Amino acid sequence: MNNREEIKKNIIKPMVYCFKTVAKVRPSLFVLYIIDMIMKFASTSLGLLMPKFILDEIVLIVKEGTDKHLNLVILYVIMHLGISGLMNLVNAYTLNIKSWMQVELDLELEVRLTSKSVSMSYEYTEDPKFLDKLQAARDGISWYSGGVVGMLNQYYNLISNIVVCLGVNILLIFTCPVLILIQAAGIAIEAYFNYRINSIELEAFSKLSTANRLFGYFFWDLSRPEHGKDIRLYESKKMMADKADEFVDGMCNIWSGTSKRTRRNQYGSNFFNTLKSVGSYLYVGVKALMGLYTIGNIQMLISACNQVYESVKTVAFSIQEIVKKGNYFNKYLDFLEIESDMKFGDKLLEGRNHTIEFKHVYFKYPRSEEYVLKDINITLNQGEHLSVVGLNGAGKTTFIKLLCRLYDVTEGEILLDGCNINLYSESEYRKLISVIFQDFQILAFSLRENIALTEIKNTDENRIVEVLKRTGLYEDAMSLKCGLDTNLTKQYDRQGTQLSGGQSQKVAICRALYKDAGVVILDEPTAALDPVAEYEIYRQFEDLVGGKTAVYISHRLSSCQFCDKIAVFSEGTIKEYGTHAELVKLENGIYAEMFMEQAKYYNDCGIGKENPVMA
């Protein structure tokens, strides 16, 4: 990348984005920065001139001893204190307002980041490179850049210090131009050292995004309650602690290597800074001894030197910070610009009756060489109930994921009413299907929100009650402390509750029913239910899903009897297809064998005796 492109990418692009965001979300922030700038210029002028006037008048009192000078000293001191006090008040006020505006803008960036990441193809959630980019984007808007306000502070520092520096330099040109040269030399050397420090930090940042993600996993994710059981029961505390130690060592190595390299440059910078101060004092001191300056002038010139030095240093530092923070911020902008590989069309669903057909579908997972599904051909007609069975790893869940379009097929096509599903708009296709995966998540929201998964104002309470009744969860729901408004975890709400596995699974079923989609998919929906509750769910299955098309995976083959068709997956393909009655009769059939195995188990346990379906 050449310089021009670099400036465009690391300076102009983040700046335009930050300005646009503030203009959209909180334009009054610009007014606060303008007030700050006026205050800064005024306080610098006051700080340089007032002490000079006061000192010169004090010298005149000593020399002449007149009341006139004493009155002037008192007047200057009162003016100085009064104006400084007023400025401090204004500064404190703007700082306070800025801090809550910062929270608001930070949240806006987070919302944009989260919306982007959840709108990306599902396959990205398993891609380590993508997850690193997401982490880098999140880090990029945290303390690394300070977010929009962090960036704006740097632009403000740059502009306000240029204004102050110009003003003070004009004063020095008329009073002591040599001092400008001394400051310029000192500042140039220090800028060089700062440049080196920034390069080292930037290099470390690129190594840290994976480390930061692992940090989150070790210190936050692993401490979540769902991991607590396994860690305790398998006594894996020591293993976790060792792994965390290993990780912390790796992280410390990165940091200590970085700080060793930055320290050397810091020493160089400090040395030249001291040299510059000594030079300035010597020059002004000699001039004063020659009787060329009053005490007030000496004070003003030394302050002016410091001011020039500080403001030029801040300008140089701000430019470097703008580039550095811009680099970090760009990780965020780069992430927002990632295009999802999954393309959708704009076709809409027509009518309520739909046929879905898999035609010679082959699939391998991204970054994987092996086909997980091979030559899948199956048609799902409106209202048909299909049961998908097979051993673990046979490809059942993958089949469902393709049906839900979480992934695109590698070869072949899936047709919806004769058209490739890729031609349909994303929202239309998502509307068609409601699915419960085995690893469904109960969110830290109320029961009502967990079922409706939409804003409270848009929920239909009657429908929530209806689906609760249909799944047999209504009584339990009504016995909760806050009814439908009970939070379903205790993590963020002391009044919250923790449902049993079976109850949670019913909530997930309620969620799918509430959505009222044309196709209902249940991936082992009853694994956490006891056999009686499971039997109840299947017995009512027709009622539950009504005339909808339904696909479900279950390991308990007794449930397949309620389905119109059964597809038996084995080694990534459909080996058997037919009704329960047809498949149990197949000689050496996979389904027949699995069914007999399970029936034997139920008979041995005596469950089948009370429950004919399981027999």
Among positions 133, 396, 448, 511, the unique one binding ligand ADP when judged by CB under 6 A: 396
Please say which residue, 396 or 506, places its beta carbon nearer to ligand ADP: 396
Please say which residue, 183 or 398, places its beta carbon nearer to ligand ADP: 398
Please say which residue, 394 or 512, places its beta carbon nearer to ligand ADP: 394
Binding flag, residue 183, ligand ADP (CB under 6 A): no
Q: Is the dihedral of CA 155, 159, 160, 162 positive or negative?
A: positive
- Neighbouring CB atoms inside 10 A of 487's CB total 22
- Neighbouring CB atoms inside 10 A of 208's CB total 18
- List the one residue out of 438, 439, 457 whose CA is nearest residue 448: 457
Please say which residue, 156 or 591, places its beta carbon nearer to ligand ADP: 591
Binding flag, residue 397, ligand ADP (CB under 6 A): yes
Among positions 3, 28, 119, 368, the unique one binding ligand ADP when judged by CB under 6 A: 368
Q: Is the dihedral of CA 88, 94, 100, 102 positive or negative?
A: negative
Contacts of 74 (CB under 8 A, 6+ apart): none
Structure tokens at 483: 């009814």
Binding flag, residue 525, ligand ADP (CB under 6 A): no
Length of the chain in terms of residues written: 615
Angstrom distances, CA of residue 465 to CA of 436, 487, 518, 547? 19, 17, 20, 20
Contact code string over 76-115 relative to ligand ADP, x by CB under 6 A: ----------------------------------------
Minimal distance in Å, beta carbon 589 to ligand ADP?
Answer: 18
Please say which residue, 480 or 568, places its beta carbon nearer to ligand ADP: 568
Among positions 147, 296, 390, 518, the unique one binding ligand ADP when judged by CB under 6 A: 390
Among positions 372, 488, 544, 545, the unique one binding ligand ADP when judged by CB under 6 A: 372
- List the one residue out of 222, 235, 571, 555 whose CA is nearest residue 393: 571
How would you classify the pairing of strands 433-436 and 519-523?
parallel
**Contact (Cβ atoms closer than 8 angstroms) between residue 481 and residue 497:** yes
Please say which residue, 364 or 506, places its beta carbon nearer to ligand ADP: 364
- Which DSSP helix (H) or strand (E) runs through 572? none
Binding flag, residue 119, ligand ADP (CB under 6 A): no
Binding flag, residue 395, ligand ADP (CB under 6 A): yes
Using CB under 6 A as the binding criterion, the count of chain residues that bind ligand ADP stands at 12
Binding flag, residue 126, ligand ADP (CB under 6 A): yes
Rounded Cα distance between 300 and 171, Å, is: 10
Minimal distance in Å, beta carbon 364 to ligand ADP?
Answer: 8
Please say which residue, 365 or 440, places its beta carbon nearer to ligand ADP: 365
Region of 7-15, 50-58, 388-396, 508-516 interacting with ligand ADP (CB under 6 A): 388-396
Rounded Cα distance between 70 and 117, Å, is: 69
Minimal distance in Å, beta carbon 352 to ligand ADP?
Answer: 29
**Contact (Cβ atoms closer than 8 angstroms) between residue 51 and residue 296:** yes
> Hunting for tokens 């505390």 — which residue is that?
237
Binding flag, residue 593, ligand ADP (CB under 6 A): no
Q: Which amino acid is at 378?
A: I
Please say which residue, 308 or 566, places its beta carbon nearer to ligand ADP: 566
Structure tokens at 150: 């962090």
Among positions 19, 247, 365, 440, the unique one binding ligand ADP when judged by CB under 6 A: 365
- List the one residue out of 513, 575, 520, 561 whose CA is nearest residue 403: 520
Binding flag, residue 398, ligand ADP (CB under 6 A): yes
Among positions 3, 392, 462, 588, the unique one binding ligand ADP when judged by CB under 6 A: 392
Region of 52-60, 322-330, 387-395, 452-460 interacting with ligand ADP (CB under 6 A): 387-395
Binding flag, residue 140, ligand ADP (CB under 6 A): no
Please say which residue, 128 or 547, places its beta carbon nearer to ligand ADP: 128
Contacts of 520 (CB under 8 A, 6+ apart): 433, 434, 435, 512, 513, 545, 548, 549, 550, 551
Binding flag, residue 393, ligand ADP (CB under 6 A): yes
Provide the total of helices (H) and of strands (E) in the chain, helices listed first.
Answer: 21, 10
- List the one residue out of 145, 150, 119, 265 whose CA is nearest residue 200: 265
Binding flag, residue 394, ligand ADP (CB under 6 A): yes
Q: Find the radius of gyration of the CA atoms of the chain.
A: 36
Please say which residue, 412 or 472, places its beta carbon nearer to ligand ADP: 412
Minimal distance in Å, beta carbon 166 to ligand ADP?
Answer: 60
Residues at the site binding ligand ADP, with contacts judged by CB under 6 A: 126, 365, 368, 372, 390, 392-398
